[in-house]
């Protein structure tokens, strides 16, 4: 089975996660979500795989854009999802998906919970 990594090459945590998976011999495919974008269906799927009940849990709430869009007081989950579709930069990263489960790589070692190594 191949893992999927939602990857931002400019993020050190994302690069460290990729390096760790490579060193462990875990096969993965990268999704360059900043280039490719994120669909509503993908985001909903990630939310379930992460086991989160709120979209906010997978958002970069300290990102200046988050505050600029007024999302800190937004209670509507659909609005938060649409903000991620429109601004994928707001997605917390990296996210690794494996066997219908997902983990945010903060710290990068956290993703190893997905694999029985």
Q: Who's near 58: CB < 8 A, 6+ residues apart?
A: 46, 47, 50, 52, 84, 91, 92, 95, 104
Which of 11, 20, 50, 69 is the catalytic position? 11
CATH code: domain of residue 32: 3.40.30.10
User: Are 5 and 31 spatial neighbours (Cβ–Cβ below 8 Å)?
Assistant: yes
Catalytic residue status for 11:
yes
Number of domains the chain contains: 1
Other CB atoms within 10 A of residue 41 CB? 8
pLDDT for the residue numbered 117: 59
Task: Report whether the peptide linkage leading into residue 62 is cis, meaning its omega lies within 30 degrees of zero.
Answer: no
| Whole-angstrom distance, CA of residue 113 vs CA of residue 117 | 9
The pLDDT value given to residue 17: 98
Distance in angstroms (rounded) separating the CA atoms of residues 104 and 91: 10
Count of CB atoms situated within 10 Å of the CB of 65: 12
Q: Which domain holds residue 39?
A: 3-114
User: pTM for this structure?
Assistant: 0.94
| Backbone Cα Rg of the chain | 14
> The tokens 């903060």 sit on which residue?
106
Ranges of residues in the chain with a pLDDT under 50 are none
């Amino acid at each position: 089975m191949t893992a999927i990594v939602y990857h931002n090459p400019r993020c050190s945590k994302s690069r460290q996660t990729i390096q760790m998976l490579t060193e462990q011999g875990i096969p993965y495919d990268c999704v360059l979500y900043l280039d490719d974008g994120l669909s509503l269906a993908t985001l909903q799927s990630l939310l379930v795989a992460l086991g989160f009940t709120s979209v906010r849990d997978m958002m970069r709430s300290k990102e200046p854009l988050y505050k600029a869009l007024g999302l800190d007081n937004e209670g509507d989950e659909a609005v938060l999802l649409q903000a991620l579709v429109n601004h994928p930069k707001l997605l917390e990263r990296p996210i690794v998906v494996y066997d219908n489960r997902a983990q945010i790589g903060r710290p990068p070692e956290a993703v190893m919970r997905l694999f029985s190594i």
